[in-house]
A and B are shown apart, each in its own frame.
Chain A
Amino acid sequence: MSQPLLEVSDLRVEFDTYGGTVQAVRGVSFAVEPGKTLAIVGESGCGKSVTVQSIMGLTPMPPGRIRTGSARLRGVEILGRTEIDGRDIRGREIGMIFQDPMSSLNPTMTIGTQIAETLEVHWGWSRKRAFDRAVELLGMARIPEAARRARQYPFEFSGGMLQRAMIAMSIACEPAILVADEPTTALDVTIQAQILDLMGDLQRDTGMAIILITHDLGVVARMADEVAVMYAGQIVEQGSVDDVFYRSAHPYTLGLKAAMPSNEPDAEGKHKLLPIEGSPPDLFHPPVGCAYAARCPHAMRICQDQDPAAFFQSEHHFARCWLHHETAPRVEGLHRGAAARQPEASA
């Protein structure tokens, strides 16, 4: 495999609040390959959004603070910087779409003008040329009657159309990476399907990488090549989408799957949903050991006291769980790689 497009290592982010310091991200590392989709999945408050926002320099600092870590785009450090060689990182190298497109659009400007403005600013195009391109981009985002819609204001767009416009805007400068932070959470399933299709098609056409942040395992299954499962500010399992779904190596991943109804047409009668009891830990005082120990049905004594290291199941699939230690008991349903090994010395 060639050099990754974006490589993040050991990112730690904290927030000062009046109640104390929240350790929102606690040592996150991942890499994004060109043309691939990395899905970061986790529950609310697990730090998935903060991770990418701090990479993009979108976290307000203070109260936020990046304690350690690096993020390298094609080998160049981008943490704390807004441009590389005079090229803006945000918007030009990395495009972004958010859950609420309305908040990132200016309500007093037409959609077309806003997209054109990005091109004028980043590429120095003339207004006319940029606007024509904006109409073209809206067409690429499958907005019907793009030329007419480009002259409309954000409030005249529905939620799905706004998200399409945001996508058009974010790919205007042909970024290498598209960051999509819960892009379909506020949308209905039929619209969600349209938007996901659109993102997939655009990725095929442009070869950009996508970092998809979501809480929805269905969306992950549909879109992702690589999956990183986050819990309490850490990546607890990471691997290819098939590894994570079919060879789940972390009890949390297993728990998430068991907590969702599976739509097997053959399975008659209800298989009971198995919820994960309790709630995620308070990140004011993260637990000493494994953050999931308090909710884990297989927790062992060591789990409370020692933060588990990453146990690799295969070259690109790891889980942070003591159950993969050679002396740990076997657990049904949990995938254990043939050569579970522990390349990291110790966390």
Chain B
Amino acid sequence: MSDRQPLVVSDRLTKHFDLGRGQRVHAVDGVSLTIHEQEIVGLVGESGSGKSTYGKALIGLHPKTSGTVSYRGETLPQRYTARDFQRWSQKMQMIFQDPYSSLNPRMTVGEIIGEGLRLHSKLPTRQIRDRVGDWLKRVGLEPDHMSRYPHEFSGGQRQRIGVARALILEPEFVVCDEPISALDVSVQAQVVNLLDELMASMGLTLLFIAHDLSMVRYVSDRMAVMYLGALVEIGPAADVFFRPKHPYTDILVKSNPEPDPERERQRASTTITGEIPSPVNIPAGCRFAGRCPHVMDVCRSTTPELLPLADEPTRRVACHLYTQ
């Protein structure tokens, strides 16, 4: 990875939501992450870990509380205006989770996909139609689906439409916010393969947010694990999955059910207890200390830094077990 240029860099990106009465949700708390050109970074975590908020803050849909995001070295605005979105929309796009609510039910598929072109270029309508038709073919639909409405399509087909909408402006960086979570197993692979193909042909860089460990492992080059608003581990996807270092990653992998009865029979009973705490009251020290089977005294007082492992410099873990 090191031979590639950094494309998107977030530096201590923080997003808090004020609930009023002095309560704040620490949705994302100082996440630093470098995404290189033509790389797929998978971001996993349980619900409430802040992975989706991170993706939206990264791309500008949430104003940042603190921290910065830069794109090829240029710092992006803290709060986006419509003008900022116009400028950056040709560089960064997003694919949304819910294929049902992410397509305007009152617009035809052609209008949805062509929206970016209509807002940006002075292309005549004919040419926009042609481009939309090309993109429909590219995502595996028919050009004459243009005049149909989203509700006529299945979940997988809708997600293809969402992909075409995001990619028609030919961005370099795409945040995929749980793009396959709402889809059936047989259709998930269709969308993943489509993303794979498009990535190869367009040279895309992806941040792939999901909670399905197996799928993230399959899709990503590197995998980042998020817990309660902070990264706990990041490294090459296969390493993180098969040889997890952080106790939380370990438990996550061990809890991941595999479609293999033999292996499931050998699986030890789960060791983790409790549930992810509320991000309103972040405990002091390590965020995972309350559930960690290897918890030490230091964990309850000092927050561990995300540091490279001594023997594997490509991997970084935020855990006191690996610091002397």
Which residues in window 174-230 of A have CB below 8 A to B? Answer: 188-194, 196-197, 215-222, 224
Residues B214 and A260 in contact, CB atoms below 8 Å apart: yes
Determine whether the beta carbon of A261 is less than 8 Å from that of B215.
Answer: yes
User: Which of A129-137, A269-277, A318-326 touches B?
Assistant: A269-277
B313 within 8 Å of A (CB atoms) = no
Chain B nearest CB, measured from A158 CB (Å) = 5
Per DSSP, chain B at the interface is helix
A160 at interface, CB cutoff 8 A: yes
Q: Does B47 contact A (CB under 8 A)?
A: yes
Q: Is the CB of A245 within 8 A of B256?
A: no
Say yes or no for A2: interface residue by CB 8 A criterion. no
Q: Are A259 and B186 in contact (CB under 8 A)?
A: yes
Which residues in B have their C-beta under 8 angstroms from that of A279? Answer: 154, 156-157, 187
Chain B contacts of A218 at CB under 8 A? 256-259, 264
The answer to whether A190 and B251 touch (CB under 8 A), given A197-B270, A260-B189, is yes
Task: Assess whether B190 is interfacial by the CB under 8 Å rule.
Answer: yes
Whether, in the assembled complex, A331 has its beta carbon less than 8 Å from a beta carbon of chain B, the answer is: no
Interface size of B as a range: 35 or more
Q: In the complex, are the beta carbons of B184 and A197 less than 8 A apart? A: no
Picked from B155, B157, B257, the residue with its CB within 8 Å of the CB of A192 is B257
Residues of A contacting B255 with CB < 8 Å?
Answer: 189-190, 192-193
B312 contacts partner chain A, Cβ-Cβ < 8 Å: no
Q: Within the assembled complex, what's the spacing in Å between the Cα atoms of A219 and B258?
A: 8
B 184-220 binary contact with A (CB < 8 Å = 1; else 0): 1111111011000000000000000001011101100
A270–B199 Cα gap in the complex (Å)?
15
- Interface residues on chain A, number (Cβ under 8 Å): 46
Q: Is B311 an interface residue (CB 8 A)?
A: no
Q: Determine if B260 is an interface residue (Cβ-Cβ < 8 Å).
A: yes
| A residues less than 8 Å from B155 (CB atoms) | 44
Residues on the B chain within 8 Å of A259, using CB = 185-186, 188-189
The digit string for A100-140, where 1 denotes a CB below 8 A from any CB of B, is 00000000000000000000000000000000000000000
Contact sample, A vs B, 12 pairs, CB 8 Å cutoff: A43-B185, A44-B155, A190-B251, A196-B257, A215-B185, A218-B256, A218-B259, A222-B267, A245-B259, A258-B189, A275-B190, A279-B187
Interface residues of A (CB under 8 A from B): 43-44, 158, 160-161, 188-194, 196-197, 215-222, 224, 241-242, 245-246, 255-263, 265, 270, 272-277, 279-280
Q: Report which B residues bind A (CB closer than 8 A).
A: 46-47, 154-157, 184-190, 192-193, 211, 213-215, 217-218, 238, 241-242, 251-252, 254-264, 267, 269-270, 272-273, 275-276
